[in-house]
C-alpha cells in the first residue's frame, strides 16, 4: 500500500505516506483544541486526521488560520463524543466543536455519491448538496486543490498524500484535483479559491487549472449571494486584496461580481485611469499588515463608490439636491449589486453613511464641522475622503483642511470655520492621480478651505 518515492504514481489506492521522521509537522504547532479533538476521536475508535489549510500552511511554515479535522465518524457520532459540539449546514453537514472562541470544524469523509441512497444532489453539474459519506481515499479526491488534500494522521503522525499535493507544495503550484472544468462547474467558488490561494501563498496556477478561469466567470451568477459575500471578505481582508483585485480583473471575474464598478473602471476620466479602488485596497492591505482593524462596510464603500459617484454626478447635473442625489445613487447601485453579492444590512447601512457624508464634508463653515466630527461615522467618512483625494478625485486641500480641523483646539477651530469657508459642490477630478500640482478647476482651494487658520 505504501509508496515510498515522491514521484511514484499515486491514486486513491496508492497514497504516498510520509512517516513522522520525514516531515516537518510537529504537534507543538497544532492548536491544543485540534489535538484534543483528534485524540478524543481516536480514543473512541474513529479515524481522525488534520486536513486542509492547517496541514498546508504548517508545511509551508505559515501560521494556519484554522484547523480542520476529517474523520470516518458521522456528524451524529461526532456530536455524541463532544458535549461542546453543534451540527451546522444542510447543504454540507459539518460538526463544530467549540472551545471558547475557537471552533474546530470536523467533516466526515465524503464519498463519490455514486450509491443510490447517497445524499448528494447535482444540478446542471453543480453540487448543491453533499452529505454522502465514504472512505478517506474518496474524501481526498473530492477536495479542491492537491495542496488542500493532505492528511496528518493522528494515529501515527504520518502524512498521507493521495493527489500529489506534497510535490505541488514543493514546487509552488496550485492544481485542481481531477478535470478542472468539471470541478469548477461543480462549485464555481473554486475559481475564487484558486485566486485566493494563488495570492495568499504566492503559488503559480497550473495551466490547466488556470485556463477555465478565463471562460467560466458567468457561473458565479449561480452562487448564493450571501456565500459570495463571505468568500470575498476572505479574499479582500487578508492582506493581499490589491493582488486579488488585479487577478480577478485579469481573469475577467471581477465583472461578474461587480459589473457596475467594472464598467466604470473600463473608462478613463479626463485621460487618467481610475485608481480609487486599487488605492483603497492597497490601503486596506497596509492596515492589515500593521495590525489595524478593517471593516467590511469600508471595503464595500470602496468597491462600489465609482458607480455611485457617477450616478450622483448625473443626478446633480439634473438638478437633484446633494443629499437626495447621493441617496438615490446609492439605492440604485445597491439594488443592482445585492442579487449578486449580498451585503448584510449591518454593513450596507454604514457603507451608505460613508457615502452620504461625502457631500457634507464639503461644508466647512459655521457649526457644521464640529457637529459632523461627532458623527459616529465621521472617521470612516474622513478616511474615505482622504483616499478620494489621493486618487485625484476629491480635493486634496479639503482633505487637508479636515486633517487640520481634527488636530486643532477650540479657538483654532472657530477661526477655521468663521466666514472664510464657502459651500462648494463636489468638483470634477482636478488633477491626475500621480500629478502633485496644478489646480485646473479655476478655484483657489487654499483660499476656500484655509479659513484664515
Query: In angstroms, what is the minimal distance from the CB of 238 to Mg ion?
Result: 12
Tell me, yes or no, if 450 is annotated catalytic: no
Query: In angstroms, what is the minimal distance from the CB of 350 to ligand ATP?
Result: 26
Q: What residue 341 binds from ligand ATP, Mg ion, none (CB within 5 to 8 A, per partner kind)?
A: none
**Grid cell at residue 348:** 450596507
Secondary element (H or E) of residue 411: helix 410-417
Query: In angstroms, what is the minimal distance from the CB of 91 to ligand ATP?
Result: 11
Secondary element (H or E) of residue 86: strand 85-88
**Residue 158 DSSP class:** E
Q: Which residue is nearest to Mg ion (CB)?
A: 53
Whole-angstrom distance, CA of residue 112 vs CA of residue 133: 8
Tell me, yes or no, if 68 is annotated catalytic: yes
User: Of 130, 139, 144, 260, which one is the catalytic site residue?
Assistant: 144
Query: In angstroms, what is the minimal distance from the CB of 429 to ligand ATP?
Result: 38
Instruction: Please list the residues that pair with 97 across neighbouring strands.
Output: 85, 104
Query: In angstroms, what is the minimal distance from the CB of 231 to Mg ion?
Result: 13
Residue with smaller CB distance to ligand ATP, 149 or 274:
149
User: Of 68, 161, 168, 262, which one is the catalytic site residue?
Assistant: 68
- Give the range of 47-55, 113-121, 180-188, 401-409 binding Mg ion by CB under 5 A: 47-55
Whole-angstrom distance, CA of residue 371 vs CA of residue 357: 12
- List all residues 6 or more positions away from 319 whose beta carbon is below 8 Å from its beta carbon: none
**Considering CB under 5 A, how many residues would be counted as binding Mg ion?**
4
Tell me, yes or no, if 400 is annotated catalytic: no
Q: What residue 143 binds from Mg ion, ligand ATP, none (CB within 5 to 8 A, per partner kind)?
A: ligand ATP
- Give the range of 27-35, 53-61, 164-172, 324-332 binding Mg ion by CB under 5 A: 53-61
- Give the range of 59-67, 271-279, 328-336, 417-425 binding Mg ion by CB under 5 A: 59-67
Bridge pairing between strands 68-71 and 150-153: unpaired
Residue with smaller CB distance to ligand ATP, 60 or 443:
60
Residue with smaller CB distance to ligand ATP, 66 or 439:
66
Choice from 66, 313, 327, 400 touching Mg ion (CB under 5 A): 66
Rg, Å, the chain Cα set: 26
Residue with smaller CB distance to ligand ATP, 68 or 393:
68
Residue length of the chain: 453
Sign of the C-alpha dihedral, residues 348, 350, 355, 359?
Answer: positive
Does residue number 53 form part of the binding site for Mg ion (CB under 5 A)? yes
Contact residues: ligand ATP, CB under 6 A: 52-53, 65-66, 68, 143-144, 148-149, 187, 189-190
- Give the range of 66-74, 93-101, 134-142, 381-389 binding Mg ion by CB under 5 A: 66-74
Whole-angstrom distance, CA of residue 365 vs CA of residue 330: 26
Query: In angstroms, what is the minimal distance from the CB of 54 to ligand ATP?
Result: 7
Print burial letters for 330-351: b (CB count within 10 Å at least 16), e (below 16). bebbbeebeebbbbeeebbebb
Residue with smaller CB distance to Mg ion, 29 or 43:
29
Give catalytic residue positions.
Answer: 66, 68, 144
- List contacts with Mg ion (CB under 5 A): 52-53, 66, 68
Amino acid at each position: 500500500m505504501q509508496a515510498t518515492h515522491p514521484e511514484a504514481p499515486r491514486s486513491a489506492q496508492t497514497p504516498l505516506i510520509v512517516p513522522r521522521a520525514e516531515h516537518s509537522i510537529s504537534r507543538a504547532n497544532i492548536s491544543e483544541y485540534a489535538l484534543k479533538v483528534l485524540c478524543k476521536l481516536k480514543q473512541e475508535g474513529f479515524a481522525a486526521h488534520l486536513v486542509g489549510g492547517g496541514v498546508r500552511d504548517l508545511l509551508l511554515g505559515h501560521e494556519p488560520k484554522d484547523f480542520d479535522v476529517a474523520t470516518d465518524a458521522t456528524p451524529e457520532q461526532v456530536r455524541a463524543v463532544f458535549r461542546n459540539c453543534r451540527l451546522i449546514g444542510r447543504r454540507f453537514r459539518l460538526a463544530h466543536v467549540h472551545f471558547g472562541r475557537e471552533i474546530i470544524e470536523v467533516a466526515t469523509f465524503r464519498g463519490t455519491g455514486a450509491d443510490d441512497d447517497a445524499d448528494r444532489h447535482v444540478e446542471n453539474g453543480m453540487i448543491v448538496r453533499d452529505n454522502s459519506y465514504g472512505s478517506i481515499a474518496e474524501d481526498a479526491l473530492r477536495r479542491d486543490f492537491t495542496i488542500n488534500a493532505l492528511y496528518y494522521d493522528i494515529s501515527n503522525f504520518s502524512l498521507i498524500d493521495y493527489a500529489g499535493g506534497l510535490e505541488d507544495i514543493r514546487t509552488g503550484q496550485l492544481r485542481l484535483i481531477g478535470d478542472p472544468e468539471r470541478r469548477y462547474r461543480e462549485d464555481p467558488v473554486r475559481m475564487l479559491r484558486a485566486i485566493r490561494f494563488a495570492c495568499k501563498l504566492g503559488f503559480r496556477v497550473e495551466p490547466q487549472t488556470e485556463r477555465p478561469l478565463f471562460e467560466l466567470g458567468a457561473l458565479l451568477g449561480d452562487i448564493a449571494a450571501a456565500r459570495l459575500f463571505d468568500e470575498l471578505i476572505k479574499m479582500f481582508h487578508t492582506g493581499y486584496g490589491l493582488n486579488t483585485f488585479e487577478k480577478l480583473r485579469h481573469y475577467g471575474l471581477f465583472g461578474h461580481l461587480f459589473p457596475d464598478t467594472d464598467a466604470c473602471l473600463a473608462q478613463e476620466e479626463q485621460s487618467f485611469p481610475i485608481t480609487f479602488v486599487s488605492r483603497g485596497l492597497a490601503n486596506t492591505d497596509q492596515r492589515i499588515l500593521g495590525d489595524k482593524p478593517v471593516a467590511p462596510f469600508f471595503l464595500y464603500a470602496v468597491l462600489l463608490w465609482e458607480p455611485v459617484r457617477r450616478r450622483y454626478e448625473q443626478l446633480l447635473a439634473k438638478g437633484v439636491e446633494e443629499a437626495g442625489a447621493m441617496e438615490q445613487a446609492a439605492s440604485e447601485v445597491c439594488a443592482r449589486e445585492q442579487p449578486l453579492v449580498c451585503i448584510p444590512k449591518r454593513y450596507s447601512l454604514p457603507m451608505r453613511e460613508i457615502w452620504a457624508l461625502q457631500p457634507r464634508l464639503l461644508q466647512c463653515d459655521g457649526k457644521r464641522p464640529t457637529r459632523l466630527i461627532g458623527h459616529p461615522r465621521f472617521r470612516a467618512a474622513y478616511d474615505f475622503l482622504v483616499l478620494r483625494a489621493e486618487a485625484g478625485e476629491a480635493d486634496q486641500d479639503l482633505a487637508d483642511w479636515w486633517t487640520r480641523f481634527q488636530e486643532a483646539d477650540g479657538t483654532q477651530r472657530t477661526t477655521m470655520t468663521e466666514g472664510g469657508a464657502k459651500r462648494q459642490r463636489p468638483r470634477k477630478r482636478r488633477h491626475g492621480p500621480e500629478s502633485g500640482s496644478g489646480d485646473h478647476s479655476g478655484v483657489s482651494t487654499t483660499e476656500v478651505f484655509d479659513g484664515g487658520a
